[in-house]
A and B are shown apart, each in its own frame.
Chain A
Amino acid sequence: MPPLTDFTELQASADAEWQGLIAGSRPHILIGTATCGKVAGAMSVLEAVEATLQRLGIEADITQVGCFGMCYAEPTVDIALPGQPRISYGYMTPEKATRVIEDYIAGGDPRPDLALCTIGEGRVDGLPSLEEMPMYRAQRRIALRNCGHINPLRLSHYLARGGYAGLHRALTGLSPEQVIEEITASGLRGRGGAGFPTGRKWQFCREAPGAPKYVICNADEGDPGAFMDRSILEGDPHSVVEGLIISGYAVGASRGYVYVRAEYPLAVSTLQQAVAQARKAGLLGRNILGSGFDFDVEIKEGAGAFVCGEETALIASLEGRRGMPRPRPPYPAVSGLFGRPTNINNVKTLAMAAYIMAGHAADFAAMGTGQSRGTCVFALAGNVRRMGLVEVPMGTPLGEVVFDIGGGIPENRQLKAVQIGGPSGGCLPAEATDVGLDYESLSLSGAIMGSGGMVVMDENTCMVDVARYFLTFVQAESCGKCVPCRLGTRQMLAILERITAGDGRPEDIETLEGLAAQIKKTSLCALGGTAPNPVLTTLRYFHDEYTAHIRDRRCPAGVCKSLITYRIINDRCTGCRLCVKACPAQAITFAGKRRPVILDEAVCNRCGICREVCRLDAVAVS
C-alpha cells in the first residue's frame, strides 16, 4: 500500500475509528497497562475483565492505555457505556473488576462506592468529575495530554486527538524559520532541567555550517525518583516522534535518534512500534506528507550509565564509545554527533513542541510566570498520599503540589523535606512550601527544576542519610574523566559515611562546604557540577541534623544504623512471638506467655523487621 500523502484523509479515517470506539454501541473499557499499572497488577485485572465479559456474553471494546497519572490508585479500570459518562474505577483487583463488570455493565449499577470519578461529558450521582478531583483540579496537561486516554500503540487514536496536526501545519505552511519563531514566541525552555530556550537552541543548530545535521531525543531519564519521560514514552509515544520530526524540519536535519534507557523495556518497544506506524503512514521517511521533507528516526538503547543523560556523553555513547562528556564549547549545535551540528531535546520538550506547533504558542506563553512559561511536569513520589504524574503551570507553589494535589503526608506524619531535581537538585524544607515551581525560584532556593522528580519526605527521614544516599549515587555514576568529580565526590562520600556511622568530626561540615564549592566550580560536566547540591541544601536547611550526628552521636530520625538501638516496650508487648519468628538475626527470645519478649541488642542487626511486623507498636527505636 503506498503511503498516504493526504493528511486530511488520514485524519478522517482516524476520526471515524475513534468515534466508533468512544461513541459506539458497545461498552468501552480502558485499562492502564503502563509499567506502573503492570507492577500494581493490571495484567491480572485485564484477564479477569476479559474472562468476565466472555462468561456473561458481553461484547465490549477493551483499550490498553498508558498511565493516567493516578499511580496511587492503580490498577485503574474505566468503563464507558454507550450514552453514559466514562467512569474510572481505582484500586482494582481481579475480584473487584469482576464485580464492577457484573454490577455495572450487566446490572446497570455504576457502583459509585468503587469509583474514583467520571471523565469527560456527563455526570453520575455521588461521583465527582475528574476536573473536581483534588489531584486534578490545579493541573493543566500538555506534555501528558494523551496519557491514559489513548492506546499508545494506535496511531489513529493520536491522530483523532489532534496529533500530527502541528507537523502537518509546519511542513505544509511554514518555513523552518517560522517554526523556530513560533517555538521562541511560546517561551518553551528545555524540560530536561537546564531550561535553555528551545527556540534559540534550534536557531543555533539551523545556522551552524555543516551537513548532514542530526536531531536527538534524550530519553535517558536516569534521575532516581523521576518517571515522567517513561510515562510519556509508554503512554503517548507519537507526541515525542512528532516533536522530533518538527525539530528535524526546523534545524534542517534528515535523521533523528531517540536514546532510551535500557531500564525501560516497555518504553523501547512502544516507541519502536510507534515509529514503524508513522513510517507506514508516510509521516516518516521520504517526502513526508508530500512536502518534500525527508526524515527518519532510529531508536538506540542506552546501556545503563547515568552520565549518558549529559548531551556530550550521550553523543559519545551513540558513536559507540565510552559515555564520557567532553568540554563545551563547541556545543553539539555546532559540532555534535559524528562532528556534525546536532540538536538534542528532552522527551517533554518535544512532546510540548508538538502541542505548540498545532497553533498553541500563545496559549502556552499565557501560562506560567516570569521567564518560565507553560507547564512543568513532576513525578510525585515518596511519603505522599497521592503519588503519580503532575503537570501544573510554571510558578505553582510547591505546597500546592504536595498538599492539594498529593494529599499531604500519610499516617498523619509531618512533612520534613521535598527533594526536587534528583541527584543534581536539592532538599527543600517544609517551610519552603511557598516556593514557586519555576526555573528562577527553584534556583534561588538552592534546588533546580531538574528533570522533574519530586520525592516527599516525612519526619522519619534522616537528611544526612539522604545526602549520603545521593552522593553514593553520583560517586558510583561519575564517569571518572575529571578529577574533581571522580575524587571530590569520593571524599565527600567518605566524610558523610563517617558522620552517619557516628564518627563525625566538628570540622567535617567546613570540609564538606569547601569540597562542594571546588567540585561545583571545576567539574567538567553538570554531573559533577551539581553533585554537591543535595549536600549543600541539607546543610543549609537541616544544619541541626548534622550537628546532632556529629556532636551528639545521635540520629534524630532513627535511621542511621550505627546510631540507633531497638528496644521492646514492655508494657505493650504481649509475647505474641511475631517478632521472634521474623527476626533474621535471632536476637529476640520468647520469655513465656503474656510476658514481654527479650531483645538482645548485641545480636540485633537493626533491620527494623520486628518493628514492621509488630501489631502493638511495642518496638521502639531511639
Chain B
Amino acid sequence: MSSQAPTVEESATRIAAGFSRDRSALIPLLQALQQEFGYLPPEALSAAAERLKLSESAVYGVASFYTQFRFQPSGRHIIKVCRGTACHVGGGEKILDELRRGLDVEPGGTSADGEYSLETVACVGACALAPVVLVNEEIIGRSSAGSIIAGVKHIADNGNGCSCRR
C-alpha cells in the first residue's frame, strides 16, 4: 500500500476495470473518465484502449467525433452559450460576442488566466427562457448582452450551487 495519491494512469485503469470489455462500453467509459479528470488525458485514452482491446487511434477517433469530449483541461468556470433557434432570434449571437470580448476568450478556448472556458451548445431545451447561458451547469435565462458579463461573474464568484439539483 503506497500512501501516495494514485497517478492518472492508475485512476484511469481502476475506472476502466469497472466496465465490460465489449466495444459498446467505449462511450460510457470515456464519459466516466472525463467525469473523473475533467477532460481526457492521453493516459485515459490508453486505459480505455487497453480495456476494450482497441487501438489508441480507434479510441481517439471515437472521442474526437463527439463534442462532449475534451482533450485539454477546462478553465475553472465553464460557460456554455446556447445557440438554439429561439436563443438566436433573441440575440444569442450578441451575447456570445460580448462574452468573447468581456472575458477575452474564444469559443472552444480557455482564457489566459485559466478562469473561463467558453463553449457553445446546440440547444439546452429551455427555449421559453431564451436567450440562455450556462455557467458551470447553472442556467441563466432571459439573458442580455448588457448584463451577461456581470451575471456570469456573479455566479462564478459566488457559486450558489447548481440550480439543476433536485
Residues of A within 8 A of B (CB): 33, 35-36, 38-41, 43, 64, 71-72, 74, 221-227, 230, 262-266, 269, 300-306, 317-324, 338, 379, 381-383, 387-388, 419, 422, 453, 455, 457, 461, 466, 469-470, 473, 477, 479, 582, 584, 605, 607-609, 612-613
A-chain residues with CB within 8 Å of residue B94 when the two chains form the complex: 607-609
Chain A residue at minimal CB-CB distance from B34? A303
Contact with A along B120-152 (1 / 0, CB 8 A): 011111111110100001010100111000000
B-chain residues with CB within 8 Å of residue A38 when the two chains form the complex: 139, 163-164
Q: A224-B88, A607-B98 are in contact. List 12 more A-B contacts (CB 8 A).
A: A39-B129, A224-B85, A224-B123, A227-B125, A303-B27, A305-B65, A319-B23, A338-B24, A381-B128, A382-B89, A479-B65, A609-B98
A-chain residues with CB within 8 Å of residue B165 when the two chains form the complex: 43
CA distance A40 to B126 in the complex (A): 10
Residues of B within 8 A of A (CB): 22-28, 30-31, 52, 61-62, 65-69, 83-91, 94, 97-98, 101-102, 121-130, 132, 137, 139, 141, 144-146, 163-166
> Across the interface, do B146 and A322 meet the contact criterion of CB distance under 8 Å?
no
A507 → chain B closest CB, angstroms = 28
The residue from B67, B128, B137 contacting A388, defined by CB atoms under 8 A apart: B128
> Across the interface, do A262 and B123 meet the contact criterion of CB distance under 8 Å?
no
CA distance A100 to B69 in the complex (A): 46
> Across the interface, do A266 and B102 meet the contact criterion of CB distance under 8 Å?
no
B-chain residues with CB within 8 Å of residue A457 when the two chains form the complex: 89
> Across the interface, do A222 and B123 meet the contact criterion of CB distance under 8 Å?
yes
Chain B residue at minimal CB-CB distance from A74? B128
A-chain residues with CB within 8 Å of residue B124 when the two chains form the complex: 35, 263
Point out which of B24, B62, B83, B139 has the most chain A C-beta atoms below 10 A from its C-beta: B24
B-chain residues with CB within 8 Å of residue A470 when the two chains form the complex: 85
CA distance A323 to B145 in the complex (A): 35
B166 → chain A closest CB, angstroms = 7
Point out which of A35, A74, A306 has the most chain B C-beta atoms below 10 A from its C-beta: A35
CA distance A88 to B140 in the complex (A): 25
Q: Contacts A303-B68, A387-B127, A584-B101: A461 and B62 contacting too (C-beta < 8 A)?
A: no
Chain A residue at minimal CB-CB distance from B93? A469
> Across the interface, do A40 and B141 meet the contact criterion of CB distance under 8 Å?
yes
A-chain residues with CB within 8 Å of residue B130 when the two chains form the complex: 381-382
CA distance A306 to B65 in the complex (A): 11
B154 → chain A closest CB, angstroms = 15
> Across the interface, do B146 and A382 meet the contact criterion of CB distance under 8 Å?
no
Point out which of B30, B69, B90, B146 has the most chain A C-beta atoms below 10 A from its C-beta: B146
A-B interface, 5 closest residue pairs, ranked by CB to CB distance from nearest: A71-B128, A303-B66, A225-B85, A320-B26, A381-B127
Q: What are some 6 contacts across the A-B interface (CB < 8 A)?
A: A41-B163, A64-B166, A221-B125, A225-B84, A304-B122, A387-B127
The residue from B68, B88, B144, B164 contacting A266, defined by CB atoms under 8 A apart: B164
A-chain residues with CB within 8 Å of residue B67 when the two chains form the complex: 303-305
B79 → chain A closest CB, angstroms = 15
> Across the interface, do B89 and A224 meet the contact criterion of CB distance under 8 Å?
no
Q: Contacts A223-B123, A303-B69, A323-B66: A71 and B89 contacting too (C-beta < 8 A)?
A: no
The residue from B62, B86, B101 contacting A225, defined by CB atoms under 8 A apart: B86
Q: Contacts A224-B123, A320-B23, A387-B128: A33 and B166 contacting too (C-beta < 8 A)?
A: yes
Q: Contacts A473-B122, A584-B101, A609-B146: A301 and B28 contacting too (C-beta < 8 A)?
A: yes
A344 → chain B closest CB, angstroms = 16
B-chain residues with CB within 8 Å of residue A612 when the two chains form the complex: 144-146
> Across the interface, do B166 and A584 meet the contact criterion of CB distance under 8 Å?
no
A-chain residues with CB within 8 Å of residue B164 when the two chains form the complex: 35, 38, 265-266
Q: Contacts A35-B126, A266-B164: A419 and B85 contacting too (C-beta < 8 A)?
A: yes
The residue from A36, A301, A302, A479 contacting B129, defined by CB atoms under 8 A apart: A36
A89 → chain B closest CB, angstroms = 18
> Across the interface, do A455 and B163 meet the contact criterion of CB distance under 8 Å?
no
> Across the interface, do A473 and B166 meet the contact criterion of CB distance under 8 Å?
no
Chain A residue at minimal CB-CB distance from B91? A608
CA distance A306 to B83 in the complex (A): 13
A619 → chain B closest CB, angstroms = 12
A261 → chain B closest CB, angstroms = 8
CA distance A582 to B94 in the complex (A): 14
A-chain residues with CB within 8 Å of residue B145 when the two chains form the complex: 607-609, 612
> Across the interface, do A320 and B24 meet the contact criterion of CB distance under 8 Å?
yes
Chain B residue at minimal CB-CB distance from A613? B146
The residue from B90, B102, B139 contacting A584, defined by CB atoms under 8 A apart: B102
A-chain residues with CB within 8 Å of residue B126 when the two chains form the complex: 35-36, 39, 227
A537 → chain B closest CB, angstroms = 14
> Across the interface, do A39 and B163 meet the contact criterion of CB distance under 8 Å?
yes
